[in-house]
Amino acid sequence: MEQTKSFVTMNHFRKKPHVFVIVVLGLAVIYFFFPVWWLVVAATKSNSGLFFGSGGSMWFDKKFAFFENISQLSSYGDGIYWRWIGNSFLYAMIGGLLSTIICVMAGYGFAKFRFRGRNTYFSIVLGALMIPSTALVIPTFILMSNVGIVNTVWAVILPSLLNPFGVYLMRIYCTESLPDEMIEAARVDGAGELRTFFQVSLPIMTPAVTTVGLLSTVGCWNNFFLPQVVLTNQSLFPITVGLTQWQVKSQAGAASEQIWNLVTSGSFLSVIPMVLAFLFLQRYWVGGLTAGSVKS
């Protein structure tokens, strides 16, 4: 009987595939929403509320301590938390911007210019995608040490400029969405390569540029392993490394200082900039998808 009911249910989903898709997507949304909800709730609790709160781990405590936590964040360690946030903005903005520029130029060059060894060079870029970024941290540290820039902001920014996936994405987009006829027409009209790129090609590439920019910026913002290896000066830490130091400090034992409330509220504040970036830049993905399109 139970097998018959299961069979009928599966047939129902097969006859209405959109129902199955909606159910799966709904479950996925719930699954991914739970950690975010926990972080929002945990950011409003004190240390005692995190472990012994009346509402449990997934609901608010009687004492709403969010603003108190923010006040402690600003005073703890002479306000080092906001220094870490500023460092993350510095690494993400400079690293993300320069990485995007390099990816756009490289992808456009691979897609629209013919030169000797183009496919070989692009195969090397694709091969770099197969190498885990963590496997490159130690060689990068040795290189930075030989150059003499360990424990500086450049030790974090320079390695983040290389984004093989961004180059791959830009080449695919330029190949598929940027007609060669438009570029040739601009050249015939007397436009130079720079003018053709900035006035003809770049507006059409807006969705891909925005995507690569967001991915590069988020990658720099979330960068953890490399800064932890190349930085020893606490004032240069990004927020990812700084919060980890607080977490390790809280886990050291009963004799150590317990600042779990600062870890949770600090983590909550640290994700807000990236969420806002996705929300405000989303319109470029949608609005620019058909920009500059032509009929063949």
What number is the average pLDDT over the span 225-244? Answer: 94
Alpha-helical (H) ranges within the chain are 2-15, 17-42, 47-52, 66-75, 80-112, 118-129, 137-147, 154-157, 164-177, 180-188, 193-196, 202-204, 206-221, 225-230, 239-251, 260-287
Residue 12: per-residue pLDDT: 55
To the question of pTM greater than 0.95 for the whole model, the response is no
DSSP string, 195-214: HHIIIIIHHHTHHHHHHHHH
Residue 293: per-residue pLDDT: 45
Residue 285: per-residue pLDDT: 58
Token pair listed for 34 = 């739970």
Which domains, ranges and CATH numbers included, belong to the chain? 78-286 (1.10.3720.10)
User: Of the ranges 3-7, 213-217, 251-255, which one carries the lowest mean pLDDT score?
Assistant: 3-7
The average confidence (pLDDT) of the chain is 86
What number is the average pLDDT over the span 177-182? Answer: 88
Residue 266: per-residue pLDDT: 95
pLDDT digits (tens, 9 = 90+) for 116-140: 999 999 999 989 888 888 888 899 9
Q: Does the pLDDT value for residue 287 go beyond 50?
A: no
Q: How many angstroms separate the Cα of 193 from the Cα of each of 90, 106, 170, 198, 227? A: 32, 14, 18, 9, 38
**Higher per-residue pLDDT: 257 or 192:** 192
Q: Does the pLDDT value for residue 257 go beyond 90?
A: no
CA torsion through residues 227, 233, 236, 242, sign: positive
User: Of the ranges 44-53, 62-71, 85-94, which one carries the lowest mean pLDDT score?
Assistant: 44-53
